[in-house]
Chain A
């Protein structure tokens, strides 16, 4: 029996090659996309779950906004005062450092951690000291770092120079953090080394929020009780001025639930993941709808078979099974094709989503869920055709009565409306996201990021910055330069506790963005100075500049020359800068201060010579760099690139929606093509007669296209308000945003109509050009 079903199903597929190709192709594309997104989503969900202690690992963050920085003495205080905390570990921010092993020098990411760090997290020691990082002169490498530095030699006991100066002994090699780890590093050094290198770490002060604190809870401890204790620990231990409240952020939430506000998790990457899941289902649904559409369109062909089978003894149940079986065969074929497509497309997707998904390393659950998904798709796509086809009354169909069933045609129209509705929503979404993206990327930001280059201030340059700057400008590669504490595109540090003339009660908690810089800051970045002047020389080392927002925040009437107390220093306001964007351009610009500070600097920014090409300017800079800092590779970033990078999330979303919209349209068009082929075939006789009566090609084409235009138009009417609603919600994330305008719907609608018409007309044209005699002879 089953063999007979499979045989008839395959013969049917072969007989209707075009339909089968459209059906299988559409479903395969839909499935490939869903598989891909499911892989992606599973990967996202697997983040940070590989630690043996995952359920009990937490990071201490500020409760108001989930900021990850905490002061140095916090870890010890937590262990002392909060019962239920088993152990704690601190870590510095992980940055790129130069590691030198003999002649081999590589820039790698790493930092300093407490020894307990490796007890809390599962980065198992593969080789060497099982309890490393207690000594000052130790370094722990990952397997891949060890390979980079020592090839296949034994790394244990070898000497590695950190930043080309501190000679450290490799004491252990740990496994590389897996791709689904939020924490990524290439090497680790001990905390005692950090204290030796950085005075503020050694001082162990409460005021400096510059490092991460992780805790491991006792599995039996009550999280609520611990959270309650942790909340006010800063104030209790650090002094009454420390009003910041803290909370614990669970390791399993680091990746997906990373948006914290006022002590609560309010979302995070999970929103993108959810969006992707919805899109995956949507595309699969469109493909299933295609399938239903094309299967029922073929119903008339199959009706006679149903009648005969019923007449010779099949009952409805058997027929339902038969048609389900056929759907399943199609689904399985599509799935095979989908897996092939997935395998081909995965590298492209990985580049696109900056992920490293692989079919070979797909988690078990993927392979388990695959057959379930297939069955579900088979059921979904096959149910309607199976129920519909098996319901034919044998007598009616054997007499040829089924061909004009109105309900069938109507439900097919509804399915087309659904498909194109979804496509229109996606087109409008794409337009809005792209417009918004363009808007935020091209808003005036108050300075010109073009022609600016950031160079790490490291090695000998730290001492010789002044000489280096002079040499660079003398070489003609740059026209100006300054030092900054961090990238200007990254709002970075905030400070509070400032005092200014006329300050009111309670205002000491107002926070300000802070950039520490040196002479020629405004000049290098071309930021207009509204009042006073830019920093000019070390004579300004007790100067401070404000942006306009800060003047407003401090409600200063005549700011120039006023004295501001910052970190216990009396600083004189020397200049007021025009507001410029340092965070995201769609957010309001916050108050900022700029201090002259040569102790706190991480980068040099140069304004390249606009008269030269970027390449020749960089060549000149590199030449000077090689002479003055030969130990370090010449690494630089263009400020423009960093600025664009900030919008990676939005760009990714925009591209993703774009791809999904295209796919949805392609699959919908495949379905429409199939339906139009079918309609033309069904109306062959009618077209023949009309042509004999004198109808022209245009009239016949209009006749055939009209039928499909109606559902598309209805789809546009239904989809537009829906898209407007969804996009309006999305735009609320942005303070500065575009308005949704009528032309967007116009374009989306026009596009949908044009695409539908183009698809249908391929077939209508063929049908309209057919010799009528041929069509009529077939009767």
Chain B
């Protein structure tokens, strides 16, 4: 499903450059649950951002279902981004000014989905995550675990093929973390969503079928 060929990422520093990713080759198959691990600064977040189209590689090829992403124009890229990729962040990153319901609805708005369908899809997700009662609350009225639940709900509401999660449990205590990881496993197994997570935790990594270790910008 996802193929990275000779991907490098570097920033110019003075006369030289600061290489973050060096010649990464990586293939991820449909339906996989992959954990990316590595020490701080090893480049794992950058890798995730490149996968999520939030950053562009300096070199190399990125194929998404066989299509070359690095050659796509802005419009197609946006379409791919909106239609196929969902994001979950460590700091949840919900929009403070919007209610739970509205936060979940936002990706559908960007996909131009008609109002009636939006309503039913948001309602489904709320129902599934057991947060119907919280739908009119604002993010600052929720606990961290609940916020992350909303974050995941927002990520899956547009029915993406891949969820990219950047340390989704990093700000949560272990009980909440377990709950979230169970949810990811469920999404992977029941809904067949490909999941790629970045994590520091050995325990969380075991939820995935495959662990990719990154050290100094290279796959170890």
Q: How many residues of B contact A (CB 8 A)?
A: 28
Sample of 15 further A-B pairs with CB below 8 A, known A15-B97, A314-B110: A4-B109, A7-B102, A8-B95, A8-B98, A305-B95, A305-B96, A308-B95, A309-B95, A311-B54, A311-B87, A313-B78, A313-B81, A313-B82, A315-B74, A395-B54
Within 8 A of B (CB), among A1-60: 1, 4, 7-8, 11-12, 15
Residues of B near A307 (CB, < 8 A) are: 93
Residues of B near A15 (CB, < 8 A) are: 97
With both chains docked as a complex, state the minimum distance between the C-beta of A126 and any C-beta of chain B, in angstroms: 60
B105–A312 touching, CB < 8 Å: no
Q: What would be 19 A-B contacts, judged by CB atoms less than 8 Å apart?
A: A4-B105, A8-B97, A11-B97, A11-B98, A15-B97, A308-B94, A309-B95, A309-B106, A310-B54, A312-B86, A312-B87, A312-B106, A312-B110, A313-B111, A315-B78, A318-B110, A395-B49, A395-B54, A398-B93
Interface string of A296-319 (1 = CB under 8 A from B): 000000001101111111110010
With both chains docked as a complex, state the minimum distance between the C-beta of A402 and any C-beta of chain B, in angstroms: 14
User: CA of A308 to CA of B92 in the docked complex: distance in angstroms?
Assistant: 9
Asked if A394 is at the interface (CB within 8 A of a chain B CB), the reply is yes
A305–B97 touching, CB < 8 Å: yes
Asked if B44 is at the interface (CB within 8 A of a chain A CB), the reply is no
A308–B93 touching, CB < 8 Å: yes
Binding site for A on B (CB under 8 A): 49, 52, 54-55, 74, 78, 81-82, 86-87, 89, 91, 93-98, 102, 105-107, 109-111, 154-155, 158
User: CA of A684 to CA of B97 in the docked complex: distance in angstroms?
Assistant: 23
Who on chain A is nearest to B105 by CB? A4
User: CA of A325 to CA of B202 in the docked complex: distance in angstroms?
Assistant: 47
Interface of A is mostly: helix
A394–B54 touching, CB < 8 Å: yes
User: CA of A15 to CA of B78 in the docked complex: distance in angstroms?
Assistant: 31
User: CA of A7 to CA of B109 in the docked complex: distance in angstroms?
Assistant: 14
User: CA of A307 to CA of B109 in the docked complex: distance in angstroms?
Assistant: 16
Residues of A near B52 (CB, < 8 A) are: 311
With both chains docked as a complex, state the minimum distance between the C-beta of A403 and any C-beta of chain B, in angstroms: 15
With A309-B106, A312-B107, A315-B78 already in contact, the answer to whether A12 and B93 are too (CB < 8 A) is no
Who on chain B is nearest to A304 by CB? B93
Residues of B near A394 (CB, < 8 A) are: 54
A311–B93 touching, CB < 8 Å: yes
User: CA of A305 to CA of B82 in the docked complex: distance in angstroms?
Assistant: 17
Within 8 A of B (CB), among A289-342: 304-305, 307-315, 318
Residues of A near B106 (CB, < 8 A) are: 4, 309, 312
Q: How many residues of A contact B (CB 8 A)?
A: 22
Q: Which 3 pairs from chain A and chain B are nearest by CB?
A: A313-B82, A313-B110, A11-B97
Who on chain A is nearest to B46 by CB? A395
User: CA of A440 to CA of B82 in the docked complex: distance in angstroms?
Assistant: 73
User: CA of A1 to CA of B110 in the docked complex: distance in angstroms?
Assistant: 8
With both chains docked as a complex, state the minimum distance between the C-beta of A149 and any C-beta of chain B, in angstroms: 68
Residues of B near A315 (CB, < 8 A) are: 74, 78
With A4-B105, A318-B110, A398-B89 already in contact, the answer to whether A313 and B97 are too (CB < 8 A) is no
With both chains docked as a complex, state the minimum distance between the C-beta of A386 and any C-beta of chain B, in angstroms: 17
User: CA of A12 to CA of B154 in the docked complex: distance in angstroms?
Assistant: 21
When the two chains form the complex, which single residue of B74, B89, B91, B107 contacts A313, counting CB atoms closer than 8 Å?
B107
With A313-B111, A318-B110 already in contact, the answer to whether A395 and B97 are too (CB < 8 A) is no
User: CA of A308 to CA of B91 in the docked complex: distance in angstroms?
Assistant: 11
User: CA of A395 to CA of B166 in the docked complex: distance in angstroms?
Assistant: 12
With A309-B106, A312-B154 already in contact, the answer to whether A12 and B97 are too (CB < 8 A) is yes
Residues of B near A1 (CB, < 8 A) are: 109
Residues of A near B109 (CB, < 8 A) are: 1, 4
Residues of A near B102 (CB, < 8 A) are: 4, 7
With both chains docked as a complex, state the minimum distance between the C-beta of A195 and any C-beta of chain B, in angstroms: 82
Residues of A near B49 (CB, < 8 A) are: 395
User: CA of A308 to CA of B52 in the docked complex: distance in angstroms?
Assistant: 13
Among A12, A307, A309, A318, chain B packs the most CB atoms within 10 A around the CB of A309
Residues of B near A309 (CB, < 8 A) are: 95, 106, 110
Who on chain A is nearest to B157 by CB? A312
Residues of A near B55 (CB, < 8 A) are: 395
User: CA of A395 to CA of B93 in the docked complex: distance in angstroms?
Assistant: 12
With both chains docked as a complex, state the minimum distance between the C-beta of B151 and any C-beta of chain A, in angstroms: 10
Who on chain B is nearest to A1 by CB? B109
Residues of A near B96 (CB, < 8 A) are: 305
User: CA of A395 to CA of B51 in the docked complex: distance in angstroms?
Assistant: 13
Residues of A near B54 (CB, < 8 A) are: 310-311, 394-395
Residues of A near B82 (CB, < 8 A) are: 313
User: CA of A312 to CA of B94 in the docked complex: distance in angstroms?
Assistant: 11
With both chains docked as a complex, state the minimum distance between the C-beta of A558 and any C-beta of chain B, in angstroms: 93
With both chains docked as a complex, state the minimum distance between the C-beta of B153 and any C-beta of chain A, in angstroms: 12
Who on chain B is nearest to A315 by CB? B78
User: CA of A150 to CA of B143 in the docked complex: distance in angstroms?
Assistant: 83
With both chains docked as a complex, state the minimum distance between the C-beta of A106 and any C-beta of chain B, in angstroms: 66
With both chains docked as a complex, state the minimum distance between the C-beta of B43 and any C-beta of chain A, in angstroms: 13
